[in-house]
Amino acid sequence: MLPTIARENDTVVMIDQRKLPAEEVYVRCKTAAEVARAIKTMVIRGAPAIGVAAAMGIALGTGKSTATGTQKFAAEFYRICELMAATRPTAVNLFWAIERMKRSFGAAAEAGESVDQIKDRLDREADAIHDEDVASCRAIGAFGAAVVPAQATILTHCNAGALATAGYGTALGVIRGAVEAGKRVTVLADETRPFLQGARLTAWELLRDGIETTVITDNMAGAIMRTSRIDLVVVGADRIAANGDTANKIGTYTVAVLAREHGIPFYVAAPLSTIDLATPDGTHIPIEERNAREVTHLRGNRLTPAGALIRNPAFDVTPHHLIAGIITERGIFRAPYTESLKRAFESAAAVGS
Ligand code: MRU
């Protein structure tokens, strides 16, 4: 399976997603600050993957602490958590992972553990977050395969694949699950301007798996839906509000509106760690605005005239009424989402207890 991110001795290693598909190079982070920078600069991206990166960064940074007293160690731990939380605002998996690390720290402190014991505990928690994410993606794939016809053309936007998770993927997990179930799948990958996650990353990882993939520019989706057969759309998510409104890569909303117009079911695939019941609806989801240079330049070449105003919101919100179902590791949840998503967590709690 694709090595998106791993802990190796005293480093966190990740494939540099800014360089794919031209170069397959790995970035080795030796400090928590380097991990935070890697998240901010998109060396690693995708909601579940940045949650895993933050957890590993916290384990790495605290693991290297020279503090001997628990008070000084705690101060360092919380400073590193803040560093991670300041990287990207939209994907809730980041904050979910930081909270998990804080809970683990709190339990260790309450049990009166030594600094070394707490370091071990944080290492184990980061590894658990990584491994659970792979397991969740596989379960999403198995549930999602059920909505894919035996012969299917599936459109996806951005990259919600192995590269965006600890492995296997969410939206691409559904595609992989369908292929593993013996279905014949062909994929339309939206290029996903401006960062080109679809053209560069989705196409790269699907082709590695031998899954037929056609890359289209974002503005082709409507015409192709009108003229060719598309069986379903499946995308990932960065944050799903309690009512089902879903933040995902900019352009997702456009695809959802087009899918509704053409009678194509539009599915979201995401683990429970992406669902944020504390956010009542999409209007409360913070949307990251990234550097204008991502829009004005391509590989160092200027595309737009100097002086043009630029917008670069990295995400948009798809209202819940456009979503046919939310595919999670606990099954597929459908409208009304306010009730069904609450049930998803209740069933997870029952399984965990
Ligand atoms: O800006 P990115 O590349 O981090 O945005 C990624 C997406 O929007 C993905 O679709 C989402 O995080 C789900 S990844 C399983």
Name the closest-CA residue to atom 5, ligand 1: 46
Locate the ligand 1 atom nearest the alpha carbon of residue 314 and give its number. Answer: 1
Tell me if the pTM is above 0.85: yes
* 315 close to 90: Cβ distance less than 8 angstroms: yes
> Residue 274 Cα, ligand 1 centroid: separation in angstroms?
11
- Same-domain check for residues 330 and 213: yes
Phi and psi of 319, rounded to 5°? -65, 145
pLDDT values of the chain reduced to their tens digit, one per residue, 353 residues:
557 999 998 999 999 999 999 999 999 999 999 999 999 999 999 999 999 999 999 999 999 999 999 999 999 999 999 999 999 999 999 999 999 999 999 999 999 999 999 999 999 999 999 999 999 999 999 999 999 999 999 999 999 999 999 999 999 999 999 999 999 999 999 999 999 999 999 999 999 999 999 999 999 999 999 999 999 999 999 999 999 999 999 999 999 999 999 999 999 999 999 999 999 999 999 999 999 999 999 989 999 999 999 999 999 999 999 999 999 999 999 999 999 999 999 987 776 54
Locate the ligand 1 atom nearest the alpha carbon of residue 45 and give its number. Answer: 4
Domain boundary among 138, 167, 183: 138
The tens digit of pLDDT for each residue in 98-141 reads 999 999 999 999 999 999 999 999 999 999 999 999 999 999 99
> Residue 47 Cα, ligand 1 centroid: separation in angstroms?
5
> Residue 145 Cα, ligand 1 centroid: separation in angstroms?
21
Question: Among 42, 174, 195, 249, which residue has the most ligand 1 atoms within 8 Å of its CB, making it the best to mutate?
Answer: 249
Domain boundary among 138, 159, 192: 138
Geometric angle at alpha carbon 168, from 347 and 43, rounded to 5°: 115
Counting the structural domains of the chain, the total is: 2
Question: Among 200, 238, 318, which residue has the most ligand 1 atoms within 8 Å of its CB, making it the best to mutate?
Answer: 238
Locate the ligand 1 atom nearest the alpha carbon of residue 88 and give its number. Answer: 4
Name the closest-CA residue to atom 8, ligand 1: 249
Q: How far apart are CA 234 and CA 187, in angstroms?
A: 10
Name the closest-CA residue to atom 15, ligand 1: 160
Q: Output the domain CATH number for residue 16.
A: 1.20.120.420
- Same-domain check for residues 164 and 121: no
Q: How many CB atoms lie within 10 A of CB 131?
A: 13
Name the closest-CA residue to atom 10, ligand 1: 236
Contacts of 239 (CB under 8 A, 6+ apart): 47, 90, 91, 92, 246, 247, 274, 276, 279, 285
> Residue 164 Cα, ligand 1 centroid: separation in angstroms?
6
**Cα distances (Å, whole numbers) of residue 213 to 167, 175, 189, 290:** 19, 11, 7, 28
The tens digit of pLDDT for each residue in 213-226 reads 999 999 999 999 99
Long-range contacts of 34-40 (CB under 8 A, 24+ apart): 35/60, 35/61, 35/84, 36/83, 36/84, 36/86, 36/87, 38/14, 39/84, 39/87, 39/88, 39/94, 40/87, 40/88
> Residue 329 Cα, ligand 1 centroid: separation in angstroms?
18
Closest CA to 159 of 90, 215, 236: 236
- Same-domain check for residues 129 and 232: no
Q: What residue ranges line ligand 1, CB within 6 angstroms?
A: 45-48, 91, 158, 160, 164-165, 170, 197, 236-238, 248-249, 314
> Residue 29 Cα, ligand 1 centroid: separation in angstroms?
21
Q: How far apart are CA 187 and CA 156, in angstroms?
A: 7
Q: Output the domain CATH number for residue 321.
A: 3.40.50.10470
- Same-domain check for residues 84 and 184: no
Q: Three-class SS of residue 197?
A: helix
Structure tokens at 296: 């004005």
- Same-domain check for residues 172 and 81: no
Show the domain range for 13: 5-138
Q: How many CB atoms lie within 10 A of CB 67?
A: 14
Catalytic residues: 238
